[in-house]
Amino acid sequence: MKIDREEEIGFHDTQATNLVTEDYREETATEIAAPLSIRDVDAYERDEVEERSTSGSVMGYSALALSILSLFILPVILGAVGIVLGFVARRRGAETLGAWAIGVGAVSLIIGIFVLPFF
């Protein structure tokens, strides 16, 4: 002998259905985004690369200027800053400028630490 839950509780079908739907509440949402064409995606990627290379070249020129300046004044401090900015410039896309800044900064740092104390 099988007893239904509605009979056991003493509700009719409509009351049991209301009880079930009141206990279970579901929330749904939909997001609508404008579709992107391939041209839009390419333009976005080109803008991102251009911004990155522009900021990298500014950083590269700054790093190179500090590295060259470190040959004349404060070789340890400015040389180290030139090396760090050179790595940042290389990371942002200015490979050649960053490499030159790292090289000149390293030479200045080595001269400042090992050669200048003897003069």
- Cβ-contact 112, 78 below 8 angstroms: no
Tokens of residue 49, six digits: 């690369």
> How many domains does one find in the chain?
1
In a domain, 34, yes or no: no
Residue 78 — pLDDT band, cuts 50, 70, 90? very high
In a domain, 65, yes or no: yes
In a domain, 45, yes or no: no
In a domain, 8, yes or no: no
Closest CA to 82 of 95, 107, 65: 65
Classify residue 117 by its DSSP letter: G
Half-sphere exposure of 115 toward its Cβ, with a 13 Å CA cutoff? Answer: 8
In a domain, 31, yes or no: no
Residue matched to tokens 């002998």: 1
| Full residue range of the structural domain in which residue 103 is found | 50-119
In a domain, 13, yes or no: no
In a domain, 4, yes or no: no
Portion of the chain with pLDDT greater than 90, in percent? 44
What average pLDDT does the chain have? Answer: 78
How far apart CA 112 and CA 106 sit, in angstroms, is 10
In a domain, 1, yes or no: no
Q: What per-residue confidence (pLDDT) applies to 65? A: 95
